[in-house]
Amino acid sequence: MLFEKPGGGHFLSDPHQAGRASRVRLLEVAYGRLVDVHDVDEQGTPSVLPVLRDVAIGEHVLSNGAGLVLETSPITGRTRLVVERPRAAPDEGQGTFVTLLAEATRALGPVVPRGGSGVQPVSLVPRNAVLVLRFDDLLEDGPEAREGLRALVRLVGGYPPDVPLPARVVFDPSHGGIAEGAFHSTRVLVDFTVSEEEALELPYFVPVNPAGVPPSSERSPLASAAVHLPTELDPTRGRFARLTNLAGRGLLVEGPVDPATGDLVRAFRAGNGSDASAGFLLDLAAPRLIGEWDAALDAARDDPDGPAGLGFEVTLRFRTLCRAAPLVGDVVEAGGELYEVRAPGAAPDPGGRVEGLRLLRLAREPLADPALLVGLARLRTPYRDLSAFPLSCWVGFVPPPRFPPHDGVPPDARLTVRFSEPMAAETFRAFDTLRILRGATLGSEVQAGDLVVGAVEADPSLLEFRLAPRLPLANVLSLQYFAELSAGPTGVRDLSGNPLERGFGRVEFFLDGSAAPERNGGFGLRFDGLDELDPPGLADLRGQVSYEGGVLRPRPPLVRSFTVDRFSTLQSTMTPYRFGVQTPLSSLGSKMQAVWRYCDFGFRVRDETYYNLDVIGLSWVPLDGRLLGDFFPLFELRLAHSRHLPDESGNSNSGPLHAASGLPPGPALFEDNVLDDPRGPQVAVHPRGLGYQVRPTDLFVTSRGTTLLPFPWNRTSAPLVSWTWRDTAILAEGGATSTGVPLDVEVGPPHFLDEGVASFALPGEVPSVGLPLLWEVRCFPSSQSLGFNSFEILLPIPGFNTPNFRCFSTGGVDQSGQVVRVEPDLEPFPQGGFNPRSVPPGRRTPLSADNSFYTGQIDTVVRISRAVTVWIGSRSFTPRWVEPVLEPRQQLAGSAIELEFRGARRFAEEAGNAPFDASALDPYGDLPDGQVEFHGDGTWSAQLSSIDGAPFVQVRFTFVNDVEGQITPVLDSFGLAFEER
């Protein structure tokens, strides 16, 4: 039933024990939508003030034509439920105020009792819902309890839920009972969202939070949030108080409990983007654009028909061309307070005045004197199609124009727009959905240079958004600009995914002609097509990306393995060595370098599918598939690009045609085999301290019947370690003693895998995509190791020891029986090993580098994808480039987009349009030597200041996938601005 509170107000009675129970039971936890409840008078007019405040109703309770009307103010965002019955009217067969309201409140969504660390199914709760905790007794809800309530009912999140989350935690003002002449609540509300007004009313600080709790992971059904209620006092844990009834009795320990703290726990999964309404409460209403119009209140008096101190009649005067008859639900802001329009206002007179406008004060405290209303004000009203005033009335500028609403805009102004409900910030894009244009006319197609480079800033409430240009708007050539806001399916949306139905389209505004001159420019790429930059008709970008629906996407994080064995095309003509080799797994120590080329795995040098491959595992082939268990406590694996590129062209009659193309023997240094580039040094992917446990149980067989043993790298639960092979960020070149690429062995008989020896790169000019994977093993001496295993190798040309595919130093027993150990860190150059099969045994091998080709496999994942732009002109001789804009502004956790830049001064005449045509660039973004005069040394830099003064800029995008999370970044748009110096 509905009862009156002592001192005013109403409440609904809950069963209770008068605050005297020996223990307080938590009866249920449920979720719903928070509303204020109004009744109607006998004429059906809703009450001015709510009968009940902060009442939770079911998510799916909507206007039903049978006594319930659900309304949300487009200005204040407050939701009210109108029960179309007078609260004191008798039941006439259609339900009373109380029975209809009871139906709405009984429709709350249940939260099943679950702990925060279990694997049982948990309840789904919308991100912006309110949790209702219902108890079986009257709670101690005095001032001290209200102020400390957030410590007694704690909201936490994460995996597992243990990170404090902000929330508005209050005693339910509308459910409870009377004890000792006062009302006391039986419920606690945990409101996930906090408005500006609610934050100000709380006795403790909580940040404004329009979006509620963080979304759960779309890949996990586990709990992502929980409510904790302390049951015992524990000063050591900072628990100095607990939730009690009026008698001071605490909670009964019943249901899921945190074993570490004894807290009662109720866990749940918050909604996410894959759930209905994007994880938020059901929302069928489209957001609306809100105009804010300058006005003044010239007179104010009490409204004789309104609540005392809350209802007023005023004279409103509009101060600009933005003026129209105020609508019911419009809001006037005056003196920092909000007043809602109660009745339709008259059309403004020629002086902009509206007489007798009826307002309702939204603050709960009455205003002592209506005269306090007189002064400057602003009217907030939803978008409506009116031709009587400029479209610019629906936008704002900060600082404001000299001649509102759109003339005399300061060059450093920011464009602002406001909405009726919190909006999804990621849908506001500075080059697509909310943008400023220069040079474009109504109906014209927008070019890259027409887009003003700026960033969108969201107000904490997500109700207001500002577009802040990177530089003041240029005012030398023209004062005319346009603002655009996109509505509809491709425009801005609210948190639930509802699009803005109506917007202003394109709005004209003019800069202040008396402002100081600003000279600057910029461009924006939206990736709606391949050609956005001048000159037209030429592709703007090349690389390992795809254009999909106006965004750039990299290659997915695909995991693949590539095997090189005796059945591979190039290796099928090689001869297996029947004894195999033990190097580098020696108990007396070994240091060995070996190479695998791109063509060994069946790749072609021009196929960019296999550029920027991250290697995450290596395997090799035990001789005849046999393996003995062994252990090497210190074993290190290193990877790098090789400077040398073996080419085994030739046969047993001619011998090797390119004998010197492989790894050189000693006294050449091991370190000299590593490509000399700061971006591509040798990397220890498997630290020596992790060792190598050689286990027959680790053997596996490929589809071609080859038995493989994995190296120990990435064989634990530790985070994945990868290394990028064929890395297009590396600019150093190698292959000085090679034939260039494609290799002679690829082009000539008997393989004919490619055409045009060195047609991609000449000897000594082979880039990283054509250089081999150099893998180095450092196996340290150990008395715990046996070193009896042999591994399969192939010999390219029978009877010849070159070209060299490996170089090594391995310990052994010499001819005098002396044990010779090899400490890998002390081996600067390869010295070979000791042959136990020589006569007499122990003769040092005559070669420290040979043509032993190891068979094996690489495991790869696509972590990196790269793309480069054409050269983009600034039309300025000495520009200063400023911070770029990328959208989306944040990538999903673990993925990233990295930017690098380089500049140019001019191009050779013979280059023609090639600098502006992506199809003329190579995979590194380069043109033939001599066609570009670089600004600086031509290297890429993440520091934008490195290209200050360069009239032309080129941008390299590196897309970094989150391999373990299988997340790829996306690029919706990119902008870069400059100022002329």
Q: Is 409 exposed, middle or buried (0-12, 13-18, 19+ CB in 10 A)?
A: buried
Locus of tokens 């109700």:
463
Greatest alpha-carbon span in the chain: 121
Angstrom distances, CA of residue 195 to CA of 77, 331, 460, 463: 9, 16, 9, 10
- Tokens found for residue 447: 């070019």
Helix (H) or strand (E) holding 152: helix 149-152
Region of 243 on the Ramachandran plot (φ > 0 left; ψ -120 to 50 alpha; else beta)? beta
Helix (H, G, I), strand (E, B) or coil at 638: strand
Residues 6 or more apart whose Cβ sits within 8 Å of residue 572: 566
Residues 6 or more apart whose Cβ sits within 8 Å of residue 633: 691, 780, 782, 784, 785
Closest CA to 112 of 190, 56, 29, 26: 29
Q: For the chain, which residues score pLDDT lower than 70?
A: 92-93, 440-444
C-alpha–C-alpha distance, residues 226 and 468, integer Å: 38
For 519, list phi and psi in degrees, rounded to 5: -115, 115
- Tokens found for residue 52: 């009940």
What integer pLDDT is reported at residue 442 of this predicted model? 57
Per residue in 354-386, pLDDT tens?
Answer: 999 999 999 989 999 999 999 999 999 999 887
- Tokens found for residue 479: 């004062």
What integer pLDDT is reported at residue 118 of this predicted model? 77
Q: Are 525 and 972 in contact (CB under 8 A)?
A: no
**E strands along 271-413, which residues?**
289-302, 311-318, 331-334, 337-341, 353-361, 375-382, 396-398
What integer pLDDT is reported at residue 234 of this predicted model? 80
C-alpha–C-alpha distance, residues 971 and 896, integer Å: 10
C-alpha–C-alpha distance, residues 104 and 930, integer Å: 77
Helix (H) or strand (E) holding 875: none
Amino acid at 555: R
C-alpha–C-alpha distance, residues 148 and 748, integer Å: 83
- Tokens found for residue 99: 């029975």
Do β-strands 123-125 and 264-270 pair in parallel, antiparallel, or remain unpaired? parallel
C-alpha–C-alpha distance, residues 881 and 870, integer Å: 17
Helix (H, G, I), strand (E, B) or coil at 210: coil
C-alpha–C-alpha distance, residues 67 and 82, integer Å: 8
- Tokens found for residue 314: 């005023």
C-alpha–C-alpha distance, residues 681 and 678, integer Å: 6
What integer pLDDT is reported at residue 444 of this predicted model? 67
- Tokens found for residue 920: 């003329």
Identify the bridge partners of residue 904 per DSSP, sorted by sequence position.
Answer: 934, 952
C-alpha–C-alpha distance, residues 466 and 610, integer Å: 43
